[in-house]
Amino acid sequence: MLVEFKFSNFRSFKEEANFSMEPLSQNGSNPNTIITNLKKVPQLYRTAGIFGANASGKSNIVLALTFLKFLVEQSAKSVVGDEFPQEFYAFSDASSDKPISLGIQFIVESNLFEYNVSVLKNIVQKESLYYYPISIEGSAKQNRVFERSNINGKIEFEKSKGILQSWSNETLDNRLFLSEIVNNRKCTVKEVLDVYNWITQTLSIKDTRRMNDSFSLTKILEGDGADIVKLMKTADLGLEDISVKETPIEEIVAEKEKIKDKLKATLLNILTNGKGKALEAKSFHRTEDGQIKSFDFNSMESLGTKKFLTLSGYLLEALKKGKVFVVDELDNSLHPYLVKNLISLFNDPNVNKNNAQLIFMSHAHYLMDGEHLSRDQIWLTSKELNKGFYSDLYSLSDFKNLNRKNAAFYNAYMEGIYGAVPFWEKNND
């Protein structure tokens, strides 16, 4: 379960931004919270939405999490001289000489983990991993797994049992120590593996504008998609069923005349599911006379139906495995009722039995109804206070004198009271 994510000097964010899934108050209960029964973090929200004007920084929060995941997964492959992607704040020359800093807190079993890293060009300047046993019987005392810094070529390193000094000595400047010891040193320390696996597997990040339906279709093909079809039927999309088969990509390409080798290679790359075969889906609808008729899913179904299918597989996978699902543009091409019902799946403890979390970026302001999202679950991005240059991230809980119980915040937001709305400059010419 995600507790907190913070980052600074990244894309449109100059100063530190801090996002939290903790309720403002841990007293009482909210129907949208997970009761952890753990000391220090007794409750966490199941869902949170981040709203704001176009170009206000919403997607950059997703990219910051993606950047962290990329570093943990891939930096162990870096060779001497490789530089990190230059994602620092771009509207100040001084920012390129400052590190990008990322920090995350999350819970695995009964441990609260805190992982922080700062990178500059081709050097990991600081990296640390701590955990806190926070069960009812636990001490909640800070335990260091490792702490490593590399400032001006001076390396300092502290470690716990099971971490070898030689690993630090042999780690390249442009490799995260966490990535190095899991991928190249075969570290077996449980706390290290818990953190690596949570970031690389439990944390799932998607952008609806770039997702394709192959994940959901493959689930159906392999006989593991009954819940996807059921959700599609529940959404009242007129579907009775979906079937999927694999067709060798060569057969599809062979049907096209005068296809050049380059185009053929492109088609193979785009259409294949990684097995040299394309997935062909059929949707089934009931006709007026009660018969079931099949249609080509890709050509006959609406964009919204196809988007819903694409999203369904990932959402249900997150619910099943207790993942943290972060998605940009959740409401893309979807009806408001469908979006509300998807949020409700995660907020409902009877459905979300494995404490999955959904964090989404959206323009679906109708979710600010005090029911699907309370004020602590509503986050906003804005550049208004910074002359339009860099982004701020804040929640509605930062505003005083708000109605705390089941308040609809939509009208106040649309009136600009909370900021984070576009300012349309009128042309007076």
Q: Are residues 280 and 366 in the same domain?
A: no
Q: Which domain holds residue 26?
A: 1-209+329-429
Asked if residue 265 is part of any domain, the answer here is: yes
More confident residue, 381 or 250: 381
- 247 and 144 in a single domain? The answer is no
Please indicate, yes or no, whether residues 94 and 205 belong to a single structural domain of this protein. yes
SS3 54: coil
CA distances from 309 to 219, 314, 392 (A): 11, 9, 34
Reported as a pLDDT band with limits 50, 70 and 90, residue 166 is very high
Cβ neighbors of 109 (< 8 A, separation 6 or more) are: 194
pLDDT in tens, 100-133: 999 999 999 999 999 999 999 999 999 999 999 9
**How confident is residue 258, by pLDDT bands cut at 50, 70 and 90?**
very low
Measured on CA atoms in the order 263, 269, 270, 271, is the torsion positive or negative?
positive
- C-beta neighbour count of 75 within 10 angstroms: 23
Return the closest-CA partner of residue 422 out of 372, 380, 360: 380
Q: Of 318, 349, 372, which one is at a domain's C-terminal end?
A: 318
pLDDT of 26 higher than 70: no
Whether residue 299 is found in the same domain as residue 413: no
Query: CA–CA separation, 407 vs 371, rounded Å?
Result: 8
Residue 323 lies inside a defined structural domain of this protein: no
Pairing of strands 292-296, 324-328: unpaired
Q: Are 42 and 135 in contact (CB under 8 A)?
A: no
Beta strand pairing call for 100-108 and 378-382: unpaired
| Residue 427 confidence (pLDDT) above 50 | no
* Domain match, 198 and 231 both: no
* Same structural domain, 196 and 303: no
Cβ neighbors of 172 (< 8 A, separation 6 or more) are 78, 79, 80, 180
What six digits make up the tokens of 359?
A: 């964090």
Of 180, 183, 186, 189, nearest in space to 148 by CA: 180
Residues 227 and 304 in one domain: yes
Among residues 114, 163, 148, 158, the alpha carbon closest in space to that of 134 is found at 114
The confidence score (pLDDT) of residue 48 equals 97
Q: What is the pLDDT of residue 25?
A: 72
Strands 324-328 and 357-361, bridge-based pairing: parallel
User: pLDDT (tens digit, 9 = 90+) per residue, 192-240?
Assistant: 999 999 999 999 999 988 888 999 999 999 999 999 999 999 998 889 9
- Chain centre distance of CA 289: 45
CA-wise closest residue to 400 among 418, 423, 382, 384: 418
Last residue of a domain, one of 255, 285, 318: 318
Judgement on whether residues 167 and 64 belong to the same structural domain of the protein:
yes
Q: Are residues 108 and 179 in the same domain?
A: yes
Residues 197 and 224 in one domain: no
Let me know if residue 324 belongs to a domain.
Answer: no
HSE, side-chain direction, 13 A CA sphere, residue 129: 21
Provide the pLDDT confidence category of residue 417 given band limits of 50, 70 and 90: low
pLDDT digits (tens, 9 = 90+) for 265-318: 555 555 555 555 778 899 999 999 999 999 999 889 999 999 999 999 999 999
96 and 200 fall within a common domain = yes
Distances (CA, A) of 257 to 252, 253, 254, 269, 304: 11, 8, 7, 19, 32
How far apart are alpha carbons 75 and 175 in whole angstroms?
Answer: 5
Contact yes or no for 376/44 (Cβ under 8 A): no
* Mean pLDDT, the chain, integer: 88
**Distance in angstroms (rounded) separating the CA atoms of residues 185 and 412:** 54
How many domains does the chain contain in total? 2
Residues 238 and 265 in one domain: yes
How many residues in total does the chain contain?
Answer: 429
Please identify which residue in the block is written with the tokens 């970031």.
Answer: 199
The pLDDT-based confidence of 248 (bands split at 50, 70, 90) is confident
**Is residue 226 assigned to a domain?**
yes
Which one of 275, 290, 318 terminates a domain? Answer: 318
**Distance from C-alpha of 404 to C-alpha of 370, rounded to nearest angstrom:** 9
Flag whether 406 is in a domain.
yes
Identify the three-state secondary structure at position 161: coil
**Alpha helices, H only, 209-282:** 214-221, 226-234, 249-254, 261-271
